[in-house]
Structures are given as C-alpha cells and as structure tokens.
Amino acid sequence: MKKQILCLGLLLGLGLPAFAQQAVPTATLSRADSAQAVHRLFSKHRTGGIVWAVIGAAFTGRIAGAAASGSGNAGGAVVGILALGGVPAGIGVGKLVRFSGSREAAAISALEAGKGLPHYVQRRLRNAKYFRD
C-alpha cells in the first residue's frame, strides 16, 4: 500500500504544473524612517532616564527624612541612601547624559551625512519595535 501511495504521489507531482517560490519583497527603509527611529529611541531613553532619576531622588528623600526624624543608625541610613537612592539616580543620570538632545542631534546629522550611527545607537536600533507604529 505504501508503494502505491508513493508512486501516485510521484506521478501527481510530475504531472501537475509547478511554480517557483517568489521572493518576499523586503521593505526598503529610507533615511527618514531611520531618523524617525533614532528620534523615538532617544525620546524613550530620555523618558526612562527621567523616571529612574525621580525614583532615585524619591528613595533618597524618603530614607533621609526617616533617618533625620528617628534616632536610628546613621551609617545604615547612608548605606540605604547610596544603595536604594544612589543607584537608580545614577542609572537615570547616565541615561540622560547618553541620550541627550545634543547627542541625538549629532546622531541625526551623522545619519543625514551618510556616516554610520554610534555603536550604542546601532545596537539598540536592531530591535524592530522602533520601526513599528
């Protein structure tokens, strides 16, 4: 029975017309698309930097206020401020510096001049979500 099904499949496969697979047309990205993606990337990372900096400042203020009102361990308060407030604030400030408006303008001008984007921008633009609406 298997031989009959295989022979029938072979005959049908040879007897019916076949068409080659067509290549899927790829979307060509223009410089305007890339510029828009760079704008969105920098905007989102600046927003994230602001959020991280505000969270760090809030933790710092809350821990410092609690340490000032109570007679707790001052060394523990300093460690808490550095660990819970300083780390998020440092991340936020780092993002704000790395994705500042001047760096965005430099990246856009390099893109328009035909030069390559900075490595940290290229790495983040590989993610396709910046090209979606």
- Residues sharing a CB contact under 8 Å with residue 54, sequence separation 6 or more, in sequence order: 92
40-88 pLDDT, tens digit per residue, is 999 999 999 999 999 999 999 888 888 887 766 777 888 888 888 899 9
Return the domain boundaries, the chain: 30-131
At residue 50, the pLDDT reads 96
**Closest of 37, 51, 124 to residue 93, by C-alpha:** 51
How would DSSP label each residue in 103-119? HHHHHHHHHHTTPPPPH
**Does the pLDDT of residue 118 top 60, yes or no?**
yes
At residue 128, the pLDDT reads 55
**Does the pLDDT of residue 21 top 90, yes or no?**
no
At residue 63, the pLDDT reads 85
- Residues sharing a CB contact under 8 Å with residue 113, sequence separation 6 or more, in sequence order: none
Query: In whole angstroms, what is the distance from residue 128 CA to residue 126 CA?
Result: 6
